[in-house]
């Protein structure tokens, strides 16, 4: 446990690059491992979540090493070439690592045992178990489809067409990845568009992926099985979900002015930027370009008065990980912000809806928590602060409340900063280099 405290900040200023995109990092390792030949990855997120994926793929026979130049080199085994691991695969805190790997394993005829930390072992895996069993995989999980679990991949997998019951890129990706080593065409149908990094990266490695629209407007994503995947060069942009924390810090600490470089701007990930701009934020999107099939830009952010708005449920998939930090922006804004369609937040690394509601209330912010909504009554300036927050193994709850402390009259403490390593190694150092005052509980002002 590493308790930390964040105190009211002077204006933050400067230029920074946050670590690589977590979603793309997992996918580059997974798809690289299934390709033939070497994949070179620059800008890989070296957070614990991604390192779990790397360790699991090593145990399955793929080579993966970090070079002295910081680039990662993956020696792929080719589709169908994974070998049975002799030990339990520990997926740590990462739902993405667990669910995407289960997708890959579902069409490889071997048995693997997967476990994770207390947070991951609480999270629902039935949402991937159900479609993966349709391919012919056998999965034995704890009650409610929870980890630890065992999976035996199908020796003779059948392609499926599966309509996702929840808007989840992880479920969509698990289905598409299982479809890779399956003859024929596998389709995942989503009624709300979720992040499409798997589709983009599969195409980058040579797979055929087609997206069409169903009669009811849903998107049907089809992968043609048994493609020739060949090793590629991948450049991972900075993670917009990590950039979200300094972005909101710059908006709520008066006088701030920062630039974040090479941020991934995939339109299915930029819901937070759209929302903040609607609230009145000054965010300039500069130098837009494409890197390895993904849009990237530099973001220039200046402090400015934010006004509460109503955030529609339809926006949730494009900013699903950003609600904790949006709730912090809403707490300092003028007026009321209402966020709808938040049911999925209850099954993230923690119950994020409950955690935000409890934490904001502990910091003197008026909130109303609904079953799948959150209403935040903005303080129109610094929040009272002074709360002690239980982070419950959730990196984004930890970072969100450290940012709230930067714009609060009294310091905000968190019980444990260690989970931040899962997605944003160096978060505290980066924020302090911009001007934040985050430090040990005894020493902070
Ligand atoms: C992710 C998808 C999202 C997100 C997670 C990463 C991914 O989960 O919350 O942090 O990389 O596919 P869901 O797709 O289950 O909502």
Instruction: Write out the CATH class of domain 4-20+237-440.
Output: alpha beta
Pocket test for ligand 1, best of 20, 21, 22, 23 (most atoms within 8 A of CB): 23
Low-confidence spans in the chain with pLDDT less than 70: 443-445
- Read off φ and ψ for residue 5, nearest 5 degrees: -135, 140
Instruction: Write out the CATH class of domain 22-235.
Output: alpha beta
Helix axis angle, 48-59 relative to 22-34, nearest 10°? Answer: 10
Pocket test for ligand 1, best of 45, 170, 200, 271 (most atoms within 8 A of CB): 170
Q: Whose CA is nearest to atom 15 of ligand 1?
A: 168
Q: How far, in Å, is the centroid of ligand 1 from the Cα of 317? A: 9
Q: pLDDT tens digits, residue range 369-420?
A: 999 999 999 999 999 999 999 999 999 999 999 999 999 999 999 999 999 9
Nearest ligand 1 atom to alpha carbon 348: 9
- Compute the distance between CA of residue 346 and CA of residue 308 in angstroms, rounded to an integer: 23
Q: What pLDDT shows up at residue 444?
A: 45
Ligand 1 site residues, Cβ closer than 6 angstroms: 23, 96, 168-170, 173, 194-195, 320-321, 344
Kindly report, as residue ranges, where domains of CATH 3.65.10.10 are found in the chain: 4-20+237-440, 22-235
Q: How far, in Å, is the centroid of ligand 1 from the Cα of 394? A: 14
- Hey, which residues are catalytic here? 321
Q: What pLDDT shows up at residue 360?
A: 98
- Compute the distance between CA of residue 146 and CA of residue 190 in angstroms, rounded to an integer: 24
The 3-state secondary structure of the chain reads: CCCEEEECCCCCEEEECCCECHHHHHHHHHHHHHCEEEEEEECCCCCHHHHHHHHHHHHCCCEEEECCCCCEEEEEECCCCCCCCCCCEECCCCHHHHHHHHHHHCCCCCEEEEECCCCHHHCCCHHHHHHHHHCCCEEEEECCCEEEEEEECCCCCCCCEEECCCCCHHHHHHHHHHHHCCCCEEEEEECCCCCCHHHHHHHHCCCCEEEEECCCCCEEEEEECCCCCECCEEECCECHHHHHHHHHHHHHCCCCEEEEEEEECCCCCCHHHHHHHHCCCEEEEEEEEEECCEEEEEEEEECCCCECCEECHHHHHHHCCCHHHHHHHHHHCECEEEECCCHHHHHCCCCHHHHHHHHHHHCCCEEEECCCCEEEECCCCCEEECCEECCCCCHHHHHHHHHHHHCEEECEEECCCHHHHHCCCCHHHHHHHHCCEEEECCCCC
């Amino acid at each position: 446990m590493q308790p930390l405290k964040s105190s009211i900040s002077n204006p933050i200023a400067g230029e920074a690059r946050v670590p690589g995109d977590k979603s793309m990092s997992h996918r580059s390792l997974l798809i690289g491992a299934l390709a033939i030949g070497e994949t070179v990855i620059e800008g890989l997120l070296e957070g614990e979540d991604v390192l779990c994926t790397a360790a699991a793929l090593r145990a399955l026979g793929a080579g993966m090493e970090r070079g002295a130049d910081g680039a990662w080199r993956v020696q792929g085994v080719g589709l169908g070439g994974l070998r049975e691991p002799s030990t339990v695969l520990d997926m740590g805190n990462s739902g993405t690592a667990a669910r995407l790997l289960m997708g890959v394993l579902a069409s490889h005829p071997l048995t693997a045992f997967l476990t994770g930390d207390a947070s991951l072992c609480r999270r629902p895996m039935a949402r991937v178990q159900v479609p993966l069993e349709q391919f012919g995989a056998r999965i034995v999980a704890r009650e409610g489809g929870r980890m630890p679990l065992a999976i035996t991949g199908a020796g003779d997998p059948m392609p499926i067409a599966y309509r996702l019951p929840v808007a989840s890129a992880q479920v969509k990706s698990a289905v598409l990845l299982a479809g890779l080593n399956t003859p024929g065409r596998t389709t995942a149908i989503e009624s709300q568009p979720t992040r499409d990094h798997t589709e983009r990266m599969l195409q980058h490695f040579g797979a055929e992926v087609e997206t069409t629209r169903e009669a009811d407007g849903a998107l049907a994503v089809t992968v043609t099985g048994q493609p020739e995947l060949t090793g590629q060069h991948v450049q991972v942009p900075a993670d917009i979900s990590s950039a979200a924390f300094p972005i909101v810090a710059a908006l709520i600490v008066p006088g701030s002015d920062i630039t974040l470089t090479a941020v991934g701007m995939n339109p299915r990930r930029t819901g937070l930027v759209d929302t903040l701009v609607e609230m009145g934020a000054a965010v300039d999107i500069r130098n837009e370009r494409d890197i390895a099939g993904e849009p990237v830009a530099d973001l220039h952010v200046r402090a400015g008065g934010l006004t509460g708005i109503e955030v529609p449920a339809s926006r949730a998939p494009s900013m699903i990980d950003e609600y904790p930090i949006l709730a912090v922006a809403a707490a300092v804004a003028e007026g009321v912000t209402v966020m709808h369609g938040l049911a999925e937040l209850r099954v993230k690394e923690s119950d994020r809806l409950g955690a935000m509601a409890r934490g904001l209330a502990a910091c003197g912010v008026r909130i109303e928590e609904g079953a799948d909504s959150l209403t935040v009554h903005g303080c129109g300036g610094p929040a009272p602060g002074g709360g002690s927050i239980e982070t419950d193994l959730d990196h984004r709850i930890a970072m969100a409340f450290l940012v709230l402390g930067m714009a609060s009259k009294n310091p905000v403490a968190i019980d444990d900063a260690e989970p931040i390593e899962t997605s944003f190694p160096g978060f505290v150092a980066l924020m302090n280099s911009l001007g934040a005052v985050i430090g040990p509980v005894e020493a902070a002002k």
